[in-house]
Amino acid sequence: MKAICIKEPGQVVIQEMEMPVRKPGEALLKLLYGGICGSDLGSYRGANAYVSYPRVPGHEFSAEIIEIDDNDKGLKPGMIVTCNPYFNCGSCYSCKRGLVNACTDNQTMGVQREGAFAEYITMPIERIYDGKGLDPKVLALIEPFCISYHGVSRADVKPGERVLVVGAGTIGVLAAVAAKAKGAEVTICDVAPDKLDYAYKTFGLDHKLLNDSPEAFEKGVADLTNGDGFDVTIEAVGLPNTFQNCLDAACFGARVVLIGVSKRNIDDFFFTIIQKKELNIYGSRNAMKKDFLELIDLVKAGGVALEKIVTNTYKWTDAPKAFEDFAANAGKMLKVVIDFT
């Protein structure tokens, strides 16, 4: 079979690989659609804090079951499914407490272990979720929605609260959508006006804030909150300055959620701001099984037009161009999907 491989930063190739051999308790899957995650783009750029090379990317996907043993989940050949791509050890302190998404030896597909961007993959049956008839292209978007939804859940967003999401990429936009679904008044913020306008208009968000200068950001926060700051701020970029934005924009007693991942440090960090404002700061990593199951049902019920997040689709044989284009036009492209059909 063939697979997409990031050989090293800036180099994506289509290469021959051995067909995976299904083990007991696993299913053989045929890929249908896969989304290029921000972490995949980071791997391509050499900016991913966790990846090693060469690496088959991809952990957002839908697939068809080709082979599977009898199981108690009702999964059968021919079913269209998605999967939980965060492998956990099961024995560390986090896993023993049920925090499998924060396993100390976490291995996410496409990062610490080979990803899904191949014609065929195998997956443990326990990680496979019935797509319940969702379009395969939409089903491939459930995983990034889970990342965002998990972060919003960490903040326990309540109706009427003012929420600022910094970052109008896929994860940021879907975090804004999730917060809006919980009844919050949501502001989306970014440095890229095209992505900002697209997110604001397409998903019916309450406000937008163009972060084109420190002064503009400070004024925008003050205007939108009557000088009080936001009840919840969510960082979905992974840069020191955007995390600082979230701290600065938070009201006293606010909740701050960090979803973005970075290799960089914050220099001269005035950490007393956390004490002064009595901020509640939450890290948000990966997602849980319940996030997948709840969001499949939510999207199935028509609660979210998830397909609107897709701005570009490429055939899998054009993957090198997809990564190149995405890296060069990240300010305009939102979710890039790879078509394996």
Contact, 258 vs 232, CB < 8 A? no
Alpha helical stretches, state H, 192-281: 193-202, 214-225, 240-249, 272-277
Q: Are strands 26-36 and 120-124 parallel, antiparallel or unpaired?
A: antiparallel
What pLDDT shows up at residue 1?
A: 97
Domain ranges in the chain are 2-140+305-339, 148-283
Q: At the topology level of CATH, where does 148-283 sit?
A: Rossmann fold (3.40.50)
Q: Which CATH entry fits the domain spanning 2-140+305-339: 3.40.50.2020, 3.40.50.2000, 3.40.190.10, 3.90.180.10?
A: 3.90.180.10
What pLDDT shows up at residue 265?
A: 81
Q: Both tokens of residue 18?
A: 């051995």
Q: Given the structure tokens 């095209």, which residue do they identify? A: 194
Using only C-alpha atoms, the chain has a radius of gyration, in whole angstroms, of 20
Helix (H) or strand (E) holding 209: strand 207-210
* pLDDT tens for each residue of 108-148: 999 999 999 999 999 999 999 999 999 999 999 999 999 99
Q: Do domains 2-140+305-339 and 148-283 have the same CATH topology?
A: no
Asked if omega into 54 is within 30° of 0 (cis), the reply is: yes
Question: Closest by alpha carbon to 205, among 313, 333, 336, 304?
Answer: 304
What pLDDT shows up at residue 47?
A: 83
DSSP letters, 41-90, are HHHHHT--SS--SSB----EEEEEEEE----TT---TT-EEEE--EE--S
* pLDDT tens for each residue of 73-93: 999 999 999 999 999 999 999
Question: Closest by alpha carbon to 312, among 9, 26, 101, 36?
Answer: 36
Query: What is the helix, strand, coil percentage profile of the chain, to 5?
Result: 35, 30, 40
CA separation for the pair 301, 178 (Å, rounded): 15
Grouped pLDDT means (10 residues each) for the chain, 341 residues: 97 96 96 95 88 95 97 97 97 97 96 96 98 97 97 97 96 96 97 94 96 97 98 95 97 97 81 96 96 95 90 97 96 94 95
CA separation for the pair 242, 168 (Å, rounded): 12
Helix (H) or strand (E) holding 338: strand 335-339
CA dihedral for 164, 51, 25, 100, sign (positive or negative): negative
What pLDDT shows up at residue 7?
A: 97
* pLDDT tens for each residue of 42-67: 999 998 878 889 999 999 999 999 99
pTM of the model: 0.93
Give the CA distances from residue 271 to residues 252, 275, 277, in Å, rounded to whole numbers and listed in that order: 14, 8, 11
CA separation for the pair 281, 269 (Å, rounded): 15
